[in-house]
Amino acid sequence: MANQSTNAIEASNLNAWYGDFQALNSISLQIPKNEVTAFIGPSGCGKSTLLRWFNRMNDTIHSASATGDLRLGDIDLLSSATDVVDLRRRVGIVFQKANPFPKSIFENVAFGPRLHMKLNKTELQDLVEWALRKAAVWEEVKDRLNAPALGLSGGQQQRLCIARAIATGPEILLMDEPCSALDPASTLAIEDLMDELRSQYTIVIVTHNMQQASRCSDKTAFFFEGKVIEFNSTEKIFTTPNAKQTEDYVRGKFG
């Protein structure tokens, strides 16, 4: 039966480890569909660990393990039977450092669709253009699609990586500190892009930038030492948080 939940991802009593180190402790969280959810908190508190379990990127770390319940609709994300390749098509990720493939701009975006879809040449070209337009980088690259992606600026590379992530038709877009290495103008372009994409995608962003979290997100989760201390509307988290710890963090008293 199809899942009619208004939540994109649901975690219940999720625990995660790297070897003997417990990185996440009894996480219960519901990520709403078609909204931007921000994860905030000091370094090493579990934000990126949780993000990487959403599309099983932690599978690449030998010592990583998890228990509890983590679901995308009817899919048990922690099950060994889950098709991880299909999962990563449905749950795209953009990392802190732009990581374009050492290929042309066109081939970066076309790579995923070629893998997952049966498209003719014209359909593929149209899809690449659509994704680059959605990622607000088409006008800057349309005359050099065959040029190396590594020749783009940092901000352009990051938007190219977003185009690459959405080209496969994901439901969810994960962003792990996507603006931390970018200049203010590029950061603003990414934030504007998130605002535009939220109507089509569920977006989860890890950020250390409090202003960015308050500007861009609908919901915010504050993490500390592997636990979610508070999860609420972004406005409430930043104006009248329930926990003193949350208030101290958003007011800059530690972090």
pTM across the whole model: 0.91
Give, as one character, the DSSP assignment of residue 148.
B
Sign of CA dihedral 207, 234, 66, 92: negative
Average pLDDT along the chain:
93
User: Alpha-carbon dihedral of residues 220, 196, 194, 12, nearest 10 degrees?
Assistant: 40
Question: Among 3-12, 97-106, 151-160, which stretch is predicted with the lowest mean pLDDT?
Answer: 3-12
Q: What does the alpha-carbon distance between residue 252 and residue 213 come to, in Å, rounded to a whole number?
A: 14
What are the tens digits of pLDDT across the range 185-237? Answer: 888 888 988 898 888 899 999 999 899 999 999 999 999 999 999 999 999 99
| The token pair that represents 61 in the structure block | 């770390």
CA nearest to 209, candidates 40, 74, 82: 40
Per-residue confidence (pLDDT) for residue 82, from 0 to 100: 95
| The token pair that represents 199 in the structure block | 């109507």
Task: Provide mean pLDDT across the span 14-32.
Answer: 97
Per-residue confidence (pLDDT) for residue 4, from 0 to 100: 62
Contact 213, 204 (CB under 8 A): no
Task: Provide mean pLDDT across the span 128-153.
Answer: 95
CA nearest to 131, candidates 147, 142, 120: 142
Question: In the chain, how many H helices and how many E strands?
Answer: 10, 10
What are the tens digits of pLDDT across the range 38-51? Answer: 999 999 999 999 99
Residue 122 carries which side chain, given as an amino acid letter?
T
In angstroms, the Cα distances linking 228 to 20, 71, 127, 196, 231 are 20, 18, 38, 28, 7
